[in-house]
Amino acid sequence: MGLRRIIGSLWAFANLAFACLLILPWLATKPQSRVARRLERLFFGWITKGFGLDVRCEGRAAPHALFIANHISWADIPVLASVLDADFVAKSEIRQWPLIGWLARRYNPVFIDRERRGRAGAHAAAVRQRLEDRRSVILCPEGTTSVGTAILPFRTSLFSAADDAAIVQPVVIRYLDRAGNALCTKRQREVAWIDDDDLLSGAARVAREHILVKLVFLPPMKVSDFPDRKALAEAAHAAMSKAYATAPKRPR
């Protein structure tokens, strides 16, 4: 058992080290270029491996989509970024984080301030511009993370940008044990990143768990099939909640 842990730790370190080596060539590329995007996906792929995350997909991601995902952990970001060539909608305070903020600004997500409701129109316009530029966008409309036992209610303001998406596709994120079973309450909390959790301790907790991350791409939705953004948001929430309810049951 001791040897297995040592080998696992060395493997994790090697993956993280390789991911870090990709930063320098990434900085030498033109931001948002095809080469930069490819290096970003490779980087996040090695990050997930380094933290012991086995990412598996069910279903297929659609091109030029507004992806609607639930939000449980900081790990959601590298997991989704390793699979999707898409722009994130991110909270604006990330820009002020030491080093990470600088790298995030170069990565160029759509930064929004969720506390300034008067900026909702400008935020939606920023998302709409990315979609008009033929970029896919990842939106986590719960507005916050949770322990991951259910899908939280959606904030619907940014759904107004969906008119410029070819389609909207819900994506369900589940953290499971390596056998594909739901995590117990304690392990689920170790994975979740909530409220005042700091990034370093949260990353360490995830690394200890060695878990399976399952991304379920649900059937795409045509925006034209819904009378307004609230109806679209309700349909996406219902589909994701149903998929979550049929996922592996939590062990007692």
Cβ atoms of 40 and 19 within 8 Å: the answer is no
**Which residues are CB-neighbours of 184 under 8 A, at least 6 positions away?**
250, 251
The pLDDT tens digits along the chain (252 residues) read 455 555 556 667 777 788 888 989 999 999 889 999 999 999 999 989 888 899 999 999 999 899 999 998 888 999 999 999 999 998 888 888 777 788 888 899 999 876 666 677 888 899 999 999 999 999 999 877 777 778 889 988 889 888 888 799 999 999 998 888 888 888 888 888 776 666 666 677 777 777 899 999 999 999 999 999 999 999 999 999 999 877 665 543
188 vs 164: CA distance, rounded Å: 36
Q: Which segments within 40-158 are labelled E, that is strand? A: 54-58, 65-69, 86-91, 110-112, 136-139
Which structure tokens are listed for 53? 């995350």
Which structure tokens are listed for 224? 């034209």
| Region at 147 (left for phi over 0; alpha for psi -120 to 50; beta for the rest) | alpha
Domain ranges for the chain, please list them: 1-50, 54-245
Indicate the average pLDDT of the chain: 85
Strand-strand pairing, 65-69 and 167-176: parallel
pLDDT digits over 115-152, tens only? 666 677 888 899 999 999 999 999 999 877 777 778 88
The fold of 54-245 is: Glycerol-3-phosphate (1)-acyltransferase (3.40.1130)
